[in-house]
Amino acid sequence: MREKQWCTAELPAAIAQFTVARGPERNLEIIDGFAGEAAAQGARLLALPEGLIARDGDDDAFAATHAQPIDGPFVSELKAISAKRNITLMGTVHIAPAEDSADARVSNVFLAIRDGEIMAAYRKLHLYDAFSAKESAVVKPGEALPPIIDIDGWKIGVMTCYDVRFPETARSLAVRGADVIVVSAAWVRGSLKEYHWKLMTAARAVENTCYVLACSEVSSRNIGCSRIISPLGEVLAEAGSSAAELITVNLDRNALDAARRALPVLRNRRFADPQLR
């Protein structure tokens, strides 16, 4: 049983859905603008899309070819924004390999940044080698399960895009105590893809009785449809599929606890995989 600890009754949280531009400086301007708007509404957490440094909807490899070191200018400026706006930023960036690395592929790294510091970093586990795409050609996969970050006593787990199709990833977060799962994505448009996104983000919430904050880039290539889902699968806020948008919700500890009392799936599990812990 988890130890009792201080935790706010509500956690104001936000998602910033937007089109990632080709230029890093423009993306930093967009992120800073949304961070300021979210902070003005009291948000303590701002979820951002996948691949924040640079993107070209007509070039699948563009984000990887514009990777930077983790101590490079883009991440340094994200740190500055988090400190200036007093908000935790969560999203992914493509990080260049070390100069002496034998593997020339980049890493797609989910960062949680607060008070000017990286609180957690997680390399995307499952690469998008599906629907004729081949992410593994330019990105190397991570080897460790995603971390859990504390914000005001709330336990926040993280996943990246294609990871959401693998329920064991979300389950590993839930059994380690996650109250919320944040998904950073660039979910590609296509037949049934919007349906899959909505189905699976809701499923990850219900099967783990966690809040899910799912942010996807919106563009001619990617669907948007960012959403905040309750532990019982109710869509609390949802963005559209064509424009930049900020959505916010106060995550409610009482609602989370009530959902877990009514639907105690985490306690009712009969078989536990030790690799998920």
Catalytic positions are 50, 124, 161
Distances, alpha carbon 230 to alpha carbons 51, 145, 234, in Å: 26, 23, 5
Helix (H, G, I), strand (E, B) or coil at 52: coil
Q: 237 near 248, Cβ under 8 Å?
A: yes
Q: What would the DSSP string read from start to end of 70-134?
A: TTSHHHHHHHHHHHHHT-EEEEEEEEPPPTT-S---EEEEEEEEETTEEEEEEE-SS----TT--
Are 89 and 224 in contact by the 8 Å Cβ rule? The answer is no
Burial bucket for residue 268 (CB in 10 Å: 0-12, 13-18, 19+)? exposed
| 48 close to 89: Cβ distance less than 8 angstroms | yes
What lies within 8 Å, CB to CB, of 219 at 6+ separation is: 19, 20, 55, 57
Hey, what amino acid is at 131?
F
